[in-house]
Structure 1
C-alpha cells in the first residue's frame, strides 16, 4: 500500500493526458521500439513525466495507456517514416543514357461549385530521359471514367531554363539538411513570390516529388519537410482512388489570400509515397499519383513514327 500511495502522490500534480502532451512521449517510444532497445526504468519514468502520462488507479490496478507503432504520433512522424521507407527501397541507379518509364495519373475537379474547373482525368505513361538530353515520350490515354477523352502521343524536348530538373541533375543535389534547405528555398523562389522560406521549401518539394528522383534525396526532403511549421495529418485518396495517410501544409497562397492545402499522400502501411493533392479555393482540387519507375534503354519501337514537338 505504501508503494501505491507513493505512486499516487508522484502523479497527483500532473496534468491529465491530451493529444498534444502525449505526442512527444509517443514519438520517443516509437523511436525506441524501432531501435530495438529495452527502455531503462529511469528512462521510462522520465518519458512519462515529460509527456504528461498519468497512471490511473482503479480497484488496485494500475492502467497505463499504450500505443500502436502503426499509428504515427504526428505529421512529422509520418514524414520520418516515409523517409525510412524511401531509404529502404532497393533502387538500381540508372545511366544517363537510359529512360525512366512510369505511369502518372492526374485528376482535376471542382470544389464547392467552383466554375470552369474539371472534371478531367488523365492517365499517362512517361518515358523520361535520365539526363534530359533526349526527347521524352508522353502517351496520354482516355480514362475509364471519361472514355471520350482524346488519346495522344508526343515526343517532347526539355525547355532550357523551364520545367523541373532532370533526374541526373537531382543526383547532384545535397542531402545534408542545411544545404538542402538552401537549395529548395532557392528553387522555390522561382515558383512562389513570397518571402516565407518554409513555403518556398514546401512548394519546391511538391514540385519535384511528382517525378522520379534518387531515393536518398527523397528521404532527405521528407526529413526536412518534417521540420516545417503548419503541417498536419489527414486521410485522403490519391488520383487512383486509393486511401492513404496525408501530410498537409496549410498556406494562404490562394486567390485574395484564400487558404490553400498542399498534401503528400502515403501508403498507410508502408509509408511509400503514392501522390499528392492541391486544394485551392476558387481553383478546385488537383490530385496526382505516380507509379514506381522502371529503367529502360530505349523508347518503344512505335515512337519512331512521332516527330518531336513542343517542350516540357
Structure 2
C-alpha cells in the first residue's frame, strides 16, 4: 500500500477551516509573537460546536480564582472580549433588516424585574405608539389602559419616543470609530435630565459611550443589521470592556455578561447578551459591598444582593394589547 497516497486522499476529504476559526487563531498567534497578551502559560482554548456560536468558543479563558465578592456573584469565566464582540458583529451583520415602522404602529416590550431584598419577580408590559403620542399598559384591575392623545413623555425627562430613538439610531455611522465619536459627543446623552436640587455629574466619555451603545442594543426591534454590527465593533474599542459567560437574567436565562469596572462604590452592572444570537437579554446589578442610606446603622442593601431584569420581547405591533 502507498501510505503517502492514502494520506493525500484522506487529507483531500477534510474541509479547509472557515474564517470563524482562522481569524481568532491568527489574532491569538500575533498576540503571542508581539508579546502583548497576558501570560499564556495557563490559558485554555475552549472549543464549542453548536451552530453559529462555534467561534465564540475560541475565546480565551483565564482559569483564575474569582475576585473577592459576594457568594452569589457568577463564577468568573472570563472570555476574550475582542473575539466575542467580533463574532457578535458577524452574526448581527447577517440578520435581515427590519422595516421602518409607521407613526401609528406601536412598540411593545415585555420585561421581568426582580429587585434586591425581594423574592417577587414582577412582569411589565408596555405599548408605546411609535410617534410617542400614546402609551398603554395593564392597570391593577387587569384591564388595558390606553393613554389619551398627546405626548405622554415627561417633558423634563431625557427619554425619547420610539420614533425619536430610531431617528438618532439611523443617523449613526457604521464605521466603529466614527460611531464612538458620534455617541460620545451627542449633547442629548451628555446633558440628559437634571433633577431640581441635584448637582449634575460629569460622566466619563468611555462610560457614556458604553451606556448609550447598550441602550441602543436593548432596543433592537428596528435595528439595521450593519449598524448593530458596527456597535459591537465599537464596544471592542472602549477600554475596560469585559465579558463573562454564565451570567443569568431575571428569567433565569444564562448568557454573556458584558461589563465595565463600576465607578466608586457603585454596584457592578452586567448587560447580558444571548450567547448564540447576541441579542440583548437584560441586565444584572450585583452589590460588591453593603450600601447605606443617609446615617442608617443598617445597610439598605447588603453585599451580594442582586437586582436583575429580563427583556422578553421588543417588537413592533399594530395596536395596543397585541403581543409579538
Q: What TM-score, normalized by structure 2, do the two folds share?
A: 0.60
Counterpart of 1:57 in structure 2 is: none
Q: RMSD across aligned C-alpha pairs, in angstroms?
A: 3.7
| Cα distance in 2 for residues equivalent to 1:278 and 1:300 | 31
Q: Distance in 1 between matches of 2:229 and 2:272?
A: 15
Contact 1:82 1:273 in 2 (8 A): no
Structure 1 counterpart of 2:308 = 287
- What corresponds to 2:85 in structure 1? 79
CA contact (8 A) 1:98 1:298 kept: yes
Q: Distance in 2 between matches of 1:225 and 1:36?
A: 22
Give how far 1:87 is off.
2.8
Contact 1:81 1:271 in 2 (8 A): no
Name the structure 2 match of 1:189: 190
Q: CA 1:120 to 1:209, structure 2 compared with 1: closer, same or farther past 3 Å?
A: farther
Partner in structure 2 of residue 70 of structure 1: 56
CA distance in 2, matches of 1:98, 1:47: 49
- Partner secondary structure for residue 269 of structure 2: strand
Q: Which whole-Å deviations, capped at 9, do the CAs of 1:27-77 have from their partners, x for residues lacking one? A: xxxx9722878x99xx9986763468xxxxxxxxxxxx8652332341233
Q: Which of the two has greater strand per residue? A: 1
Aligned to 1:129: 129
SS at match of 1:269: coil
Pairs within 5 Å for 1:153-302: 153-156=144-147, 157-169=152-164, 170-171=166-167, 172-175=170-173, 176-185=175-184, 186=186, 187-190=188-191, 193-212=201-220, 213-216=222-225, 217-234=227-244, 235-252=246-263, 257-280=264-287, 281=289, 282=291, 284-300=305-321
Unaligned runs of 5+ in 1: 1-30, 53-64, 111-117, 142-149, 302-312
Query: CA–CA distance in 1 between the matches of 2:270 and 2:86?
Result: 15
Q: Is the 8 A contact 1:167 1:214 kept in 2?
A: no
Give 1:237 shift: 0.4
CA distance in structure 2 between the partners assigned to 1:260 and 1:291 by the alignment = 24
Task: Give the distance between the partners of 2:240 and 2:22, measured in 1 at CA.
Answer: 31
SS of the equivalent of 1:291 reads strand
Q: Are 1:248 and 1:262, in contact at CA under 8 Å, matched by a contact in 2?
A: yes
- Distance 1:167-1:32 versus aligned 2 partners, 3 A rule: farther
Whichever of the two has the greater Rg, that structure is 1
Counterpart residue number, 2:33: 49
Q: Following the alignment from structure 1 to structure 2, what is the Cα–Cα distance between the partners of residues 45 and 288?
A: 39
Specify the SS of the correspondent of 2:85: helix
Answering whether residue 12 of structure 2 is matched by residue 34 of structure 1, we say no
> Normalising by structure 1, what TM-score?
0.62
Cα shift at 1:161: 5.0
Distance 1:76 1:167 in 2: 31
